[in-house]
Structure 1
Amino acid sequence: MTAPDGSAARVVAVVVAYARRDLLVEALDALAEQTRQVDAVLVVDNASPDDSAVVASTHRVQPTVLELARNTGGAGGFAVGIAHAVDAMGADLVWLMDDDTIPRPEALHELLAARDDYDGPVAILGSRVVWTDGREHPMNTPRRRPGASGHAMRSAASVAAMPVRSSSFVSMLVDARAVRYHGLPIADYFIWNDDFEYSARLLRTGTGLHVPRSVVEHRTKSFGASDADPGPRFYYEVRNKIWMLTRSSSLSASERVLYAGASARRWVRTAGRSEDRRALLRAGARGLRDGLFRSPRSNVTSLAGLGPVSGSVERLERSAR
């Protein structure tokens, strides 16, 4: 569990919170009970209307709490959190999760063990995600990296892992070196597909591992996949997926074609299941328009005016390739 210079790796857990103070307490409790303790915890409070920030600041895990002046969504929260963890808190590894992610006690230990035993650098490691009843959560189901070589498969299997092409912010351990090279998640995504775009960008040439021995609970209100009826939020699914397919460096040309087809099929299924198809299609049409005719702003622009952390965002983004 070492840093590049051979010293112990400094792990900073980043929890992005919005208006779920009871779940946030459970997430922080779980971080306090890790068998391999995190070195620091950072809570990014996205201008919650409840007392999430106050509750976090008094928790026994003693987190640093960033209270944002406005809600930047999950995408902005993770961009800010990663920037602060790497630039201001000296993180070698950043462990990302939402406030409804409850890691089991061995979760971090197993991620680090796989990283240390793997023969080569690893940009991202992800946990097995289950729902409250222990079933694999369909919203966060990993898939083996397409075209993974026999060597890659054997290397991953040697640490009881699987090579992947993307990962979820529901327990994603990211190497700070990859952050400095590739930059941050795109804050203007706000919600949805931000983790897909970011992890796929880091893993286009980097190595990502799914580590089933590391387990977290994703305490969503219901058990379902990402193509369940999203209502007006379908706007973000369509807009962001188009942005990713047309404006991101995360995918190769052939992958763009494959993911475009998969997305179209998923959208048809979503529309077929919707209880208010007219509203869903209106949201999708707006997403299509904005995805085609607008572009996401730079993080320096979209995350300006948030105090010192805006400086961390700018420094990381300007140093990225």
Structure 2
Amino acid sequence: MTERVAVVVVTYNRADLLERMLAGLGALDRAPDAVFVVNNASTDHTREVLGRSTLPGLVPIHTADNLGGAGGFRLGLQTAYEQGYDVMWLMDDDVVPAPDCLTRLLEVDGSCLIAVREDRTGALVEKAAIRFDLRNPLAIRPKTASVDSTYPSRAAMPATVEVENVAFEGFLVRREVIDRIGLPDASYFIFYDDVDFAIRARRAGFPIRAVRDAVLVRQLDFDQQHDLAGWKGYYMYRNLFAVHFRYGENPLARLKPVLVALVVVLLSPLRGGRAEARNVTRALRDARRMRVPPAR
């Protein structure tokens, strides 16, 4: 009860979702001590929503440019860390916590914990990986098992489940983790910044546990089928490759990005055409520049 808790939210052009999320924070039975909302240069009515909010402890941070999710979470975490908060709870703008969500998290020992997501019908939709394979070069998709692919429902889960990666959506981290490994890497912009942080935390000796009874409700359906020939496809390829270059557990795993890029280029006439081929080759080139994480 003596820990000071800050919520860190990143939002971009989803003012109505943000308003519902802030209402959920206001209904928590254990109120956070501060709520830092990084407004990533939104062009909708996000400023108005933040301006009229009566949520105690709300601190809007308006950026001049869109820093992406990675840059936004880094800025928000850095702000909370520098102001001395003991616990930082990361939140996206499209989720609503159950009233006892923070209470249930704080009851569990551990420096890295995640709330477990469900959809609006109550179905389990927690995508955190129970197994994230950075050893097998033939595992094209490194997430080989997730919470929701392992357990049919929340009721079927044990009280906590150890996971190997996270989403910055309900992730609670204590300041000793940041003391040890630093902040999220803003260079990812979007995608895999949370995976990178989770890998660093686990390798520094901090296990990550999903807390079954800490409920977080997603307001939108999951849509992971991004256009790999579009701008998001570039970041998905680049950041996946960067994770393998940085953390692949053997030389073949670290070479997997080259194999993936070659296959995509060869199959491009049947898939995304020249646009996807350009994305993957540029992503491979740029991921090589990200081999070494930035200094803390």
TM over 0.5: yes
RMSD: 3.2
Q: Is the 8 A contact 2:226 2:233 kept in 1?
A: no
User: 3-state DSSP class of the match of 2:212?
Assistant: strand
Q: 1:73 aligns with which of 65, 68, 72?
A: 68
Q: Specify the alignment match of 2:218 in structure 1.
A: 218
Indicate the larger mover: 235-244 or 8-17: 235-244
Percent identity between the aligned chains?
A: 31
CA offsets per residue over residues 34-69 of structure 1, 9 Å max, x none?
A: 111111111011111123133113212141011111
Higher normalized helix content (fraction of residues): 1
Distance 1:45 1:77, change over 3 A: same
State the AA in 1 paired with 2:71: G
Q: Is the 8 A contact 1:18 1:48 kept in 2?
A: yes
Distance 1:87 1:293, change over 3 A: closer
User: 3-state DSSP class of the match of 1:129?
Assistant: strand
Q: Specify the alignment match of 1:193 in structure 2.
A: 192
Give the Cα–Cα distance (whole angstroms) in 2 for the partners of residues 130 and 256 of structure 1: 36
CA offsets per residue over residues 190-212 of structure 1, 9 Å max, x none?
A: 00000010111111221211112
Q: Does 1:141 align with 2:141?
A: no
Within 5 Å, give how 1:6-155 maps onto structure 2: 8-62=2-56, 63-88=58-83, 90-115=84-109, 122-137=110-125, 140-144=126-130
Distance 1:294 1:182, change over 3 A: closer
| Unmatched 5+ stretches in structure 2 | 134-157
Q: Is the 8 A contact 1:123 1:202 kept in 2?
A: no
Distance 1:252 1:229, change over 3 A: closer
Q: CA deviation at 1:229?
A: 4.0
State the AA in 2 paired with 1:130: E
Q: Is the 8 A contact 2:248 2:254 kept in 1?
A: no
With normalisation by structure 2, the TM-score equals 0.79
Q: Specify the alignment match of 1:309 in structure 2.
A: none
Give the Cα–Cα distance (whole angstroms) in 2 for the partners of residues 133 and 298 of structure 1: 41
State the AA in 1 paired with 2:127: T
State the AA in 2 paired with 1:20: R
Q: Specify the alignment match of 2:278 in structure 1.
A: 282
State the AA in 2 paired with 1:245: H
Higher normalized strand content (fraction of residues): 2
Give the Cα–Cα distance (whole angstroms) in 2 for the partners of residues 32 and 283 of structure 1: 42
Give the Cα–Cα distance (whole angstroms) in 2 for the partners of residues 214 and 297 of structure 1: 32
Give the Cα–Cα distance (whole angstroms) in 2 for the partners of residues 242 and 22 of structure 1: 34
With normalisation by structure 1, the TM-score equals 0.73
Aligned pair count? 266
Q: CA deviation at 1:164?
A: 1.6
Q: CA deviation at 1:280?
A: 3.1
User: 3-state DSSP class of the match of 2:76?
Assistant: helix
Q: CA deviation at 1:144?
A: 2.9
Give the Cα–Cα distance (whole angstroms) in 2 for the partners of residues 260 and 136 of structure 1: 32
Distance 1:10 1:290, change over 3 A: same
